[in-house]
Structure 1
Amino acid sequence: MTDAAQPIRTVGILGAGRLGTVLAALAATAGYRVLVATSSGPDAIARAMAAIDAEAKPTASVIAEADAVVLALPLGKLRMLPVDELRGKLVIDAMNYWWGADGIRPDLDDLRTSTSETVQAHLSHSRVVKALGHMGYHDLEDESRPVGMPERKAIAIAGDDPADVAVVASFVDDLGFDPVVAGELASGIMLEPGSEIFGADVGATELREMLMGFPTSQRGIVVARARGGQLFR
């Protein structure tokens, strides 16, 4: 493993909403040091984070101290992310575009690219991997299982660097889910709202079948049409 893809020991989470809080609790239970930041400041979430063995800290401290940073924010806040502070960091993108929360944003709703590629373009000096955003937070909270347990559910991962993908896969496994590699970062389009994979609460075998079937699914056909017939570049 290269120096750029060291195992995660301390995980930072930007966002303390339902998804961010669930992920913080899962990671703390799995033995990680967990740091959480919110735009309201650490005092606003200190008690809630302490209750799940996580630490509330300012955004700059979370980023500086974390081995990997999870984005558990509305996608519409992308441009507010501190680009320089995240330089060189492994960034796990769990964000999705919701017009109700983000407003009508053609720049975030362009089927010619995945939203994670948009994140990578903004964080051009970070290492972005898509994961942990296609399963509902309630299922994440309820479905975590040890390795080998029956009916263990799966989480898909998309990323361009195999070493980074492997690190994130290990993290997902520790959280209690079977990691399934969907492909390069462009493949993250398969994990977004509108795909049957989004919201799926299934095991690894079924998730792989859904990924393989995406090109002929209704969403896959719409995406390919928007891209001039080519699903992935």
Structure 2
Amino acid sequence: MRIGIIGTGHIGGTIARKLKAVGHDIRVANSRGVQSVRSFAAEIGATAVDVSGAVRDVDAIIVAIPLPAMALLPKELFDSVPADVPIVDTSNYYPGMRDESIPEIEDGMPESVWVSKQLGRPVIKAFNNILAYSLAELGRPEGAPDRLAVAVGGDNPTSKQIVIALVNDAGFDPVDSGSLEDSWRQQPATPAYCCDYGIEMMRKGLAAAVKGMASGKRGRMAELFAQLGPDPSHADIVKMNRSLNPLA
């Protein structure tokens, strides 16, 4: 597949590297222009492009930038993208940790519904409920007993199946989390968020989520994360996330 990826940070860069390694044609871009991604693109064998090039003549688009930055992308960016090309949103909302308050989300709008409104296109929510370290280091072949799971939410069945296949290609078991309106089940501070769960526990975590409860736990998540210090271990972050929403 021809895949355009906007964002080359911990998540976008890792997805680009993994999908290139299994044979996909990867184009990478970020907000700073072509020159800023040339070195990374050469390193992994991808093509460096600007954001317009990342959405032109591709089979899937992955937008891996901070959630507030979604509103700063060019308004016409996706106008010529065919309706059958899935646009993947990997972002999360971190008020009090990184992001300014967004009233619509504070009032209960699912984060990816807000993103969809900023982009003017439906999106598929994926790769947001796995830690960057886990994404980079803990992928496993299909069928491996210790394979971790990644939730995939969205409304278009065909687009969702394409993204489910990409999650599998990246080394993780995809779990259908429902509609985009239901994607709050995989947002930060929910039972399915960044806990390094396999497929059965991921399903259990998604089912255990209670609407509106995560917003009340976000402050606690920020507090616990601060207590971990400036360089927390991967194991400590997983333990912290599991402690917010214990699953039997």
For Structure 1 versus Structure 2, the TM-score category normalised by the shorter chain is 0.7 to 0.9
Find 2:145's aligned residue among 130, 150, 158.
150
Cα deviation, residue 40, structure 1: 1.4
TM-score normalized by the length of structure 1: 0.84
The match for 2:193 among 188, 198, 210 is 198
Shift of residue 55 of structure 1?
Answer: 1.8
TM-superposed CA distance for 1:83, in Å, is 3.6
Per-residue CA deviations over 1:125-173 (Å, capped at 9, x if unaligned) read x231000111011100111111111211111011011111111111111
Are 1:182 and 2:177 counterparts? yes
Aligned identity (percent) is 27
**Runs of 4+ residues over 6 Å off in structure 1:** none
Cα offsets for 1:76-123 (capped at 9, x unmatched): 111122342313342100011123675422336425210100111223
* Contact map agreement 2:7 2:29 (CA 8 A) in 1: yes
Residue 159 of structure 1 is aligned with which of 149, 154, 157? 154
Amino acid at match of 1:50: A
Distance between the aligned counterparts of 1:213 and 1:220, measured in 2? 15
Which of 35, 41, 47 pairs up with 1:43? 35
C-alpha separation in 2, matches of 1:142 and 1:108: 35
Using the alignment, how far apart are the partners of 1:24 and 1:55 within structure 2? 11
Q: Does 1:132 align with 2:127?
A: yes
Give 1:82-97 correspondences, 5 Å limit. 82-87=74-79, 88=83, 89-97=85-93
The answer to whether the Cα contact below 8 Å between 1:160 and 1:184 also exists between their aligned partners in 2 is yes
Structure 1, gaps ≥5 residues long: 1-8, 223-233
Q: 1:71 aligns with which of 57, 63, 87?
A: 63
1:29 aligns with 2:15: no
Q: 1:221 offset after TM fit, Å?
A: 8.6
**TM-score relative to the length of structure 2:** 0.79
Q: Could you list the per-position Cα deviations for residues 6-63 of structure 1 after superposition, in whole angstroms to 9, with x for gaps in the alignment? A: xxx0111111111111111011112111111011112122112211222211111111
1:97–1:108 contact (8 Å) kept in structure 2: no
Structure 1 residue 213: Cα displacement:
1.0
Amino acid at match of 2:138: E
Q: Secondary structure at the match of 1:207?
A: helix
- 1:2-13 paired onto structure 2 within 5 Å: 9-13=1-5
Structure 2, unpaired ranges of 5+? 218-248
Write the distance in 2 (CA, Å) between the matches of 1:22 and 1:74: 15
| CA–CA separation in structure 2 for the residues paired with 1:197 and 1:157 | 12
Residues 146, 198 of structure 2: 8 Å contact kept: yes
**How many residues align structurally?**
214
